[in-house]
């Protein structure tokens, strides 16, 4: 993996995030892939844990941020860029300064960047990491709590830090049409978001039925194969509204 970083074997694919109501493109999530010379395209679930264990997630994560911000600076200005952050990246020296430098060098306004974190960031060394998050948020960068609903005590983290957005884990989205308990959890999370003035995004949306239920629940944003698969930057299209999936219409 160290050689792969040196040889620029990693690349970014992007998945569109849409408004659940009108299906307009409003953001894009950056997703890393490893273009292995022998094994072909390797998805992140097969190498991110190794990168985290070895500490290579820090240089890889910085490359992802720099490349994604440079790409996003060329896109329509209403589109936000979402980038996942590993807990290990919060242990590096002066993360807020690194982010500020990257944004300035790439010409991307801080208000267009969303950093997605999991509760693991807050589990480890709460006070220090919360302080770093506040410093980042004060730059104008949005902080998103990812995989919401499957952790140990997600509600507590909403008290610890003023998140801008929460992403509802795809396990609830993909079972909500057939399981009343999953639908109830999604409705509860979106209601909680409205009460706390936190936006909600549904991950893993794959069917028109799921989208209809999300709209009824009041979820603001959606992401998944129903709208687009992750694509290389050269294949991204930002029509407004985006090309609709057959059978799916704006609300």
* pLDDT tens digit sequence for 72-130: 999 999 999 999 999 889 888 789 999 999 999 999 999 999 999 988 888 765 788 88
Does the pLDDT value for residue 239 go beyond 80?
Answer: no
* pLDDT tens digit sequence for 41-68: 998 889 998 898 888 999 999 999 999 9
pLDDT at site 242: 46
pLDDT at site 248: 66
- The domain segmentation of the chain, as residue ranges, is 2-168
2-168: CATH topology is TIM Barrel (3.20.20)
| Separation between Cα atoms, residue 191 and residue 80, nearest integer Å | 24
- The burial of 167, by beta-carbon neighbours within 10 Å (0-12 exposed, 13-18 middle, 19 or more buried), is given as buried
Hey, what are 91's tokens?
Answer: 């242990």
Q: Considering the chain, what percentage of its residues have pLDDT values greater than 70? A: 92
pLDDT at site 149: 79
* pLDDT tens digit sequence for 190-229: 999 999 999 999 999 999 999 999 999 999 999 999 999 9
Q: Please, are residues 220 and 201 in contact by the beta-carbon 8 Å criterion?
A: yes
pTM: 0.92
DSSP track, 125-192? SHHHHHHHHHHHHHTT-EEEEEEETSSS-HHHHHHHS--SEEEE-HHHHTTTTT-HHHHHHHHHHHHH
152: confidence class by pLDDT, cuts 50, 70, 90: low
Q: How far is CA 177 from CA 21, 167, 180, 181, 182, in A?
A: 18, 18, 7, 10, 8
Closest by CA position to 202, among listed 174, 236, 177: 174
């Amino acid at each position: 993996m160290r050689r792969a970083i040196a040889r620029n074997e990693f690349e970014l694919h992007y998945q569109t995030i849409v408004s659940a109501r009108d299906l307009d493109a409003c953001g894009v999530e950056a997703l890393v892939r490893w273009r292995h010379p022998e094994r072909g395209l390797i998805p992140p679930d097969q190498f991110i844990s190794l990168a985290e264990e070895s500490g290579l997630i820090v240089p890889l994560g910085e490359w992802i941020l720099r490349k994604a911000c440079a790409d996003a600076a060329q896109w329509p200005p209403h589109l936000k860029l979402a980038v996942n952050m590993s807990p290990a990246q919060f242990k590096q020296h002066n993360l807020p300064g690194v982010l500020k430098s990257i944004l300035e060098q790439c010409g991307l306004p801080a208000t267009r960047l969303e950093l997605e974190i999991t509760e693991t960031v807050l589990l480890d060394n709460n006070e220090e990491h919360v302080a770093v998050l506040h410093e980042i948020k004060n730059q104008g960068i949005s902080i998103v709590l990812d995989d919401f609903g499957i952790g140990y005590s997600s509600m507590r983290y909403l008290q610890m830090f003023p998140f801008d957005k929460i992403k509802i884990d795809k396990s609830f989205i993909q079972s909500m049409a057939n399981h009343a308990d999953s639908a109830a959890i999604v409705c509860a999370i979106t209601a909680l978001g409205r009460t706390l003035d936190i936006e909600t995004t549904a991950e893993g949306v794959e069917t028109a039925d799921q989208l209809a239920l999300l709209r009824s629940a009041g979820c603001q944003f959606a992401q998944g194969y129903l709208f687009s698969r992750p694509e290389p930057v050269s294949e991204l299209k930002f029509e407004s509204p985006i090309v609709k999936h057959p059978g799916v219409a704006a609300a």
